[in-house]
Amino acid sequence: MNKELDHLTVNELWNAFRKGNKKAFQYIYQLHIKDLLYYGRKITHDTPLIEDSIQDLFIELWQSRERLSETDSIRFYLFRALRYKIHHLQRKDPYYNTTTIEDENLYQDINLSIENLLIETEGRSQQLSMLKKCLESLSSRQQQAIYLRFFEHFSNEEIAQIMGVNYQSACKFIYSGLKSLREVVRILSLTLIMYFL
């Protein structure tokens, strides 16, 4: 990374970029590119679309930097903008596959820290498999909301804005998804108890 910029607050880094500091712009890119690519895969499996969307996003950021307002969270700003950019490119350009994960019911690469939910046991692989199947059975909106909440640590309000839904819907996606996962964990725990009796 860049030691010269490491000490800057989010606002200072953003403002340096807005004033045309190319190193600040590159630093913002380096800090967020992996998370943006990962989040893009939560929206669509179309890798070229994700990459093009991120490229367009950063080109537009640089070109419009002087008109951008201040932000308390660059990461939130970028996630929200990327989601918009992906959907915009899908609608605008027929070249891109318009099927998103939200349309399918995928999200197989979410890797929750399931191991923390289960105790060490001989049957762990079978239990993990059951929990993974449960996770995959959640709707894509539930999976996306859980990912944003517990892995990217966004607030429920931010999740609603990123996903383009109202606050109540975002809360419902999180709550209903967790409720399903908790039920599976409860059943697995009971199975373990019975196993060791």
What's the pLDDT tens digit per position in 5-56? 778 888 899 999 999 999 999 999 999 999 999 888 888 888 888 988 998 8
Flag whether pLDDT at 160 surpasses 70. yes
Judge contact between 4 and 23, C-beta under 8 A: yes
Pairwise CA distance, residues 83 & 157, whole Å: 16
Q: Identify the burial level of 14 via C-beta atoms within 10 angstroms of its C-beta, where 0-12 means exposed, 13-18 middle and 19 or more buried.
A: buried
Query: What is the structure's pLDDT at 167?
Result: 92
Can you give the pLDDT at residue 186? 67
Record the tokens describing residue 162, joined without a space.
Answer: 């990123």
pLDDT tops 50 at residue 104: no
Task: Provide the 8-state DSSP code for 70.
Answer: P
**Averaged pLDDT of the chain:** 77
User: What letter represents residue 58's amino acid?
Assistant: F
Q: What is the pTM of this model?
A: 0.59
Which pLDDT belongs to residue 117?
39
pLDDT at position 127 = 57
Q: Which among 180, 45, 61, 41 is positioned nearest to 111, based on CA atoms?
A: 41
Q: How far is CA 144 from CA 45, 112, 174, in A?
A: 14, 12, 9
Q: What are the tens digits of pLDDT across the range 167-183?
A: 999 999 988 888 877 77
Q: From its phi and psi, is residue 20 left (phi > 0), alpha (psi between -120 and 50) or beta?
A: left
Is 100's pLDDT higher than 80? no
pLDDT at 142 (0 to 100): 87
The residue behind tokens 């939200």 is 102
Residue recorded with tokens 């209903």: 176
C-alpha–C-alpha distance, residues 197 and 193, integer Å? 6
Look at residue 197 in the predicted model and tell me its pLDDT.
Answer: 44
- Nearest CA to 72 out of 144, 157, 1, 151 is that of 157
| pLDDT above 60 for 196 | no
Q: For the segment 110-149, what is each residue's pLDDT rounded down to a tens digit?
A: 333 434 434 344 455 565 666 677 777 788 888 888 888 8
